[in-house]
Amino acid sequence: MIIISDTSAVTSLVQIGRLEILPTLYQKVIIPVEVAEELKRFHTSLPGFIEVLPVTDRARLERLRTELDPGEAAAIALMLEDKGDLLLMDERRGRKIAVREGLAVIGVIGVLLEARQHGLIVSISEAIRELEQIAGFRISPQLKRHILQKADEK
């Protein structure tokens, strides 16, 4: 499975030291050029497993940019060009637009749940705590309870 990510999802995983989960779970990890540029403002380099691709349909990209920031718009545009199978995005507005466009979407918490189910992490509750404390990630108590139940954690 090929996953395309926006900026904040990669940044969150970098902040908690768990970016290496992506190439273990997914055949290919792709980000658009716009996301690479955003990431390079905060990180000196990108891991070798991340492939950077340009969006070819510039009209679609511009249409999406009227609703979203450049990275989110570009990630959705690449997905719409059939470059990936799954979109990694956490921002509510971006996810809503991606679903409207018929795309399959997963968030960082979903990736961590998959990692837990594949034995790549021992505790999703610890990973969530790191996201909240280190990355400033916000997760509702209801979603947290749901995820912990799915992972068979308390």
pLDDT digits (tens, 9 = 90+) for 34-89: 999 999 998 888 899 999 999 999 999 999 999 999 999 999 999 999 999 999 99
CB 23 within 8 A of CB 118: no
pLDDT (tens digit per residue) in 118-144:
999 999 999 999 999 999 999 999 999
CB 74 within 8 A of CB 80: no
How far is residue 9 CA from its own chain's centroid? 4
Q: What is the pTM of this model?
A: 0.94
CA pair distance 2, 55, nearest whole angstrom: 16
Residue ranges of domains in the chain, CATH in brackets: 2-108 (3.40.50.1010), 109-150 (no CATH)
How would you label 44-70 residue by residue, b for 16+ Cβ within 10 Å and e otherwise?
eebeeebeebebeeeebbeebeeebbb
